[in-house]
Every structure is written in structure tokens, then in C-alpha cells.
């Protein structure tokens, strides 16, 4: 029963069922049309023979002469040889002359009555002599507009029935054979076509969140199952990458959290070793405050990353004037630039409307501008907005330390920090957050840089229609 519920068994049964119905219909059609044409052939030959017999009947003075009722002409002899029975009867139903195997067939008075009324017709009766069904053609003999007798031609239907039975036997043997052949063939074909699905099922069972390395690696084929297998492999690849990234993220996050916590423990341990002066306690508290600030900034970043992922689904958007927003961001960070003696400029046309989350945009540009100030020692930073046909580019260019070409592809990774900038405060999350916000708005961030020659970040935002 379990085997019958498999897809291949159902496919095989379906194929066999359809073939059975088609063959039964075809067989019935062949059987009926063959029987009809055989019977029509018999009827034609009976009619023809009756006409020949009718012409050969001897008539004298308006009556059939009994002695020569059916002369043994070659035509009649030929008919007799071919199995025809020919009888000549008078209108009273008496057999005047009869030749052939069924000459003693009983005379039905109704047949004579119909013939007397000038009807020619066929009847089928069972011969008592051999039990065969026989076909009888009855037709009147007419002389000077008067019915003077009746001619009957009889032929057995044995051959027709033999042929019908042979055809039936062929159909009854061949149909079950063809149907079972189709069922087996269908099963084998379906089993072969569905084999990769079994592999997919086994692999899917084996896979757990811990082990996403398994792949089907089936030979590529351009059919439904081949495409399913390829999609399954691609899905596993993506899941694997995303699980690895999550694991890495958790590990990196814990590592980053441990550094300030360890520093705080050390400060507390040292200060509690012995009695200290109030100045020592004050310094220790300042150090602790610095570490808590680091912790809070890190927790904020992590929270933003988590929220950023969720906001891809929520997406509360409004129309934002980018010129005002960029000006505000530049103004808020101007004291930092001034403290380092950097020249900070904001050149944006007015108005410049984009659609998105205002707080998200502020965080995005603050992160980029904060980095530009952090990693620039001399020169200046320019914030520019350029209007394109269907996008707006915000370009933040600095003249800072730059990023080496081999490091460029990694700067957007979470917790990634270029070796040279490790002395500067940060957790390596700013650019990932910026990129996440940009992607959530259907935007892109690109970076161009060379060591010692400065860095340019370009955010391409879709224009608000
Ligand atoms: P961080 O907190 O370290 O600044 P980010 O994700 O913001 O983290 O940046 C990742 C790394 O990319 C930084 O550590 C720094 O090495 C490099 N970087 C980012 N912006 C600049 C820039 N404007 N100039 C030079 N290096 C930069």
C-alpha cells in the first residue's frame, strides 16, 4: 500500500489507466465497425444472389413451373458452391424448389406475407440443423405486376462470428499486455526521472543548522528536477554563508564587548587592591566612564544593525530635503573638524528631495563624515550632492590616510578595521551600518581610495518622483 502512494507508482497507474481507456475505446470502435462492414458484405452478396436467382426462375403462363424452379445454371451452381442456399416458394409459403445447406429452414408465414406485399427484407434466424445464426434475404417474384412467388437466399453468419471472436481474442490478450507494459515502463521512467528527488530528500534530512556544507552536486540538466536540484544547492549555499556570517558576527560582537569589560575589571581590580587617594578614585571613575561610553556606543551600533535588518521589512518612509539634512549633519560635526584644523565644506544644490527614513539618512551620513574626519590629519573634507537623471549622488571626499586597494573590498564588513587605523576609536561597525541603511533605501555606497591620497565615498540614492 505504501508503494502505491509514491509518485512513480501513481504516475505508472495513471499512464496505465489512460492507456486502458484509450485501448478499450479503440478496440470497441474496431470491433463495431468490422462487424458492421462484414454484415454489410454478407447482405450485399445475398441481394446480388437473390437477383440472379430471381432472373433464373422459370415462369410459364404467369406461374412458376415447379419442375424447373431453379435450373442448374452455372450461376446458381456457383452460388451454391459459395455456401448460399436458394429457395423458391409460392405465395402460400410452400417450398417449390430449394438448393443449398439450409434448404429445410422453416418458412415463416410473416415473411411470405411481407413478400406478397412486395417487400424485400433481411432477417436473422438460428438454423436448427447446426445451431448457426443465418441471414435470410426474402424478395418477391413479380410477373405482370403480380406477386407469383417468393425467392429466399440464405447464408450462414458463421464466418462473421468467427472473425468477430478472433478479433475479440486478439483484443483481450493484447490490451492487458500493452497496459501492463505501459505501467512497468511508466514506473521505470518515473523512477529514473525522480531519482534526484530522492537524493534531495536524503540530503535535506541529513542537513541541520550545524552542518550546511552538504550539496547535491547532481550533474546539471535543464529539466524541472535539474533546476530544482540547482536551486536547492544555491539555497544551501546562501544559508551556509548567512549562518557563517551570523556565527562570525556573534563571535566578533562578544569579542568586542569583552575588551571594554576586561578593561573595566582591571581598573576595578587595581583600585580595590589598597586604599587610594580621592584623586586616584576620580581618575579610576573617569577611566570607567570612558569604557562605559565605548560599551554604550558598541551596544548602540549592534542595536542599529539588528534594527536595520528589520527595517528592510518595515520601511517607514517620508520625503526628506537632502540639502537641509546634509547641512545639519555637517554643522553638527564641524567642531570635530575644527578641533583637528580641517576644512569642512558642504556644497549642495537646493532643493534636493529624496524619499526615506530621516533618522536612517542622518546616521548614514554622520558615519561617513565622522570617518572622514577621524582618518584625515591634513587638508579638508567636502560633502557634495550631484543631481543625475534618475538618481542623486552624495559624495564625501577627504584628503586623509586613504585605504590600501587590497583592504577596500572588506571595509564594509562588520567589525573590519584597517590595521593602520586601529589606534583610532571605533568598532568597525560604522560602514556596515551605513551600507545596510543605503541598501534598505534601494541605494548603493561605493568607495574609491588610495593610501595617502584620500578617500571618496559615493552614496547613490534613487530620485524622489
Ligand atoms: P570604524 O569604527 O573602525 O571607523 P568603520 O566600519 O566605520 O569602522 O570603518 C571600517 C574601516 O574602514 C576603518 O577602520 C578604517 O580603517 C577604514 N575607513 C573608513 N572610512 C575611512 C576614510 N574616510 N579614510 C580612511 N579609512 C577609512
The model's pLDDT over 29-80, given as tens digits with 9 standing for 90+, comes to 999 999 999 999 999 999 998 998 888 887 877 778 765 445 556 666 777 7
pLDDT higher than threshold 70 for residue 465: no
- pLDDT on residue 32: 95
pLDDT higher than threshold 60 for residue 146: yes
Whether 455 lines ligand 1, by a CB cut-off of 6 Å, is yes
Q: If DSSP states are collapsed to H, E and C, what string results for the chain?
A: CCHHHCHHHHHHHHHHHHHHHHHHHHHHHHHHHHHHHHHHHHHHHHHHHHHHHHHHCCEECCEECCCCCCCCCHHHHHHHHCCCEEEEECCCCCEEEEECCCCCCCCCHHHHHHHHCCCCEEEEEECCCCCCEEEEEEEEEEECCEEEEEEEEEEECHHHHHHHHHHHHHHHHHHHHHHHHHHHHHHHHHHHHHHHHHHHHHHHHHCCCCCCCCCCCCCCCCCHHHHHHHHHHHHHHHHHHHHHHHHHHHHHHHHHHHHHHHHHHHHHHHHCCCCCCHHHHHHHHHHHHHHHHHHHHHHHHHHHHHHHHHHHHHCCCEEEEHHHHHHHHHHHHHHHHHHCCCEEEEECCCCCEEEECHHHHHHHHHHHHHHHHHCCCCCEEEEEEEECCCEEEEEEEECCCCCCCCCHHHCCCCCCCCHHHCCCCCCCCHHHHHHHHHHHCCCEEEEEEECCCEEEEEEEEECCC
Q: Whose CA is nearest to atom 2 of ligand 1?
A: 426
Whether 403 lines ligand 1, by a CB cut-off of 6 Å, is yes
pLDDT higher than threshold 90 for residue 113: yes
Whether 429 lines ligand 1, by a CB cut-off of 6 Å, is yes
252-309 confidence digits (pLDDT tens): 778 778 877 888 898 899 888 888 899 999 999 998 998 898 788 788 878 877 766 6
- pLDDT on residue 130: 82
Q: Is the pTM of this model over 0.85?
A: no
> Closest ligand 1 atom to the C-alpha of 398?
23
216-233 confidence digits (pLDDT tens): 777 777 888 888 888 888
- pLDDT on residue 72: 59
Ligand 1: centre distance to CA 312 (Å)? 24
Whether 454 lines ligand 1, by a CB cut-off of 6 Å, is no
Ligand 1: centre distance to CA 403 (Å)? 8
In the chain, pLDDT over 90 holds for what percent of residues? 39
pLDDT higher than threshold 70 for residue 379: yes
Ligand 1: centre distance to CA 326 (Å)? 20
Question: Residue 313's pLDDT band (boundaries 50, 70, 90)?
Answer: very low
Amino acid at each position: 500500500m505504501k508503494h502505491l502512494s509514491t509518485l512513480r507508482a501513481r504516475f505508472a497507474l495513471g499512464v496505465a489507466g489512460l492507456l486502458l481507456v484509450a485501448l478499450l475505446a479503440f478496440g470497441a470502435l474496431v470491433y463495431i465497425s468490422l462487424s458492421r462492414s462484414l454484415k454489410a458484405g454478407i447482405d450485399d452478396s445475398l441481394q446480388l444472389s437473390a437477383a440472379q436467382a430471381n432472373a433464373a426462375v422459370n415462369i410459364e403462363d404467369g406461374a412458376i413451373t415447379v419442375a424447373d424452379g431453379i435450373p442448374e445454371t452455372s450461376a446458381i451452381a456457383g452460388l451454391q458452391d459459395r455456401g448460399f442456399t436458394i429457395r423458391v416458394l409460392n405465395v402460400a409459403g410452400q417450398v417449390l424448389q430449394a438448393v443449398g445447406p439450409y434448404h429445410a429452414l422453416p418458412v415463416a408465414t410473416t415473411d411470405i406475407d411481407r413478400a406478397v406485399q412486395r417487400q424485400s427484407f433481411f432477417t436473422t434466424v438460428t438454423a436448427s440443423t447446426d445451431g448457426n445464426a443465418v441471414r435470410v434475404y426474402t424478395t418477391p417474384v413479380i410477373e405482370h405486376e403480380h406477386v407469383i412467388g417468393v425467392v429466399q437466399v440464405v447464408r450462414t453468419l458463421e464466418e462473421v462470428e468467427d472473425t468477430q471472436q478472433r478479433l475479440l481474442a486478439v483484443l483481450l490478450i493484447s490490451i492487458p499486455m500493452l497496459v501492463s507494459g505501459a505501467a512497468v515502463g511508466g514506473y521505470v521512467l518515473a523512477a529514473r526521472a525522480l531519482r534526484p528527488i530522492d537524493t534531495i530528500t536524503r540530503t535535506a534530512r541529513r542537513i541541520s543548522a550545524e552542518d550546511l556544507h552538504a550539496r547535491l552536486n547532481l550533474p546539471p540538466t535543464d529539466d524541472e528536477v535539474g533546476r530544482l536540484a540547482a536551486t536547492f544547492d544555491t539555497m544551501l549555499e546562501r544559508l551556509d554563508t548567512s549562518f557563517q556570517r551570523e556565527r562570525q558576527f556573534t563571535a566578533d560582537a562578544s569579542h568586542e564587548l569583552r575588551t571594554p569589560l576586561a578593561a573595566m575589571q582591571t581598573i576595578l581590580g587595581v583600585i580595590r587592591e589598597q586604599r587610594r587617594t580621592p584623586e586616584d578614585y576620580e581618575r579610576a571613575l573617569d577611566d570607567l566612564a570612558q569604557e562605559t561610553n565605548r560599551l554604550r556606543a558598541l551596544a548602540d551600533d549592534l542595536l542599529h544593525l539588528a534594527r536595520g535588518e528589520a527595517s528592510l521589512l518595515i520601511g517607514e518612509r517620508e520625503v526628506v530635503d537632502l540639502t537641509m539634512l546634509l547641512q545639519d549633519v555637517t554643522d553638527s560635526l564641524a567642531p570635530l573638524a575644527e578641533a583637528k584644523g580641517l576644512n569642512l565644506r558642504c556644497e549642495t544644490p537646493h532643493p534636493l528631495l529624496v524619499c526615506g527614513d530621516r533618522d536612517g539618512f542622518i546616521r548614514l551620513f554622520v558615519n561617513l563624515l565622522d570617518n572622514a574626519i577621524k582618518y584625515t590629519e591634513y587638508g579638508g573634507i567636502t560633502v557634495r550632492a550631484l543631481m543625475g537623471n534618475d538618481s542623486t549622488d552624495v559624495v564625501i571626499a577627504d584628503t586623509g590616510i586613504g585605504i590600501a586597494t587590497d583592504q577596500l573590498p572588506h571595509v564594509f564588513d562588520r567589525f573590519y578595521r584597517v590595521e593602520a587605523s586601529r589606534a583610532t576609536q571605533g568598532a568597525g561597525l560604522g560602514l556596515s551600518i551605513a551600507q545596510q541603511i543605503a541598501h534598505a533605501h534601494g541605494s548603493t555606497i561605493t568607495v574609491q581610495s588610495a593610501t595617502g591620497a584620500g578617500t571618496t565615498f559615493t552614496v547613490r540614492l534613487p530620485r524622489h518622483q
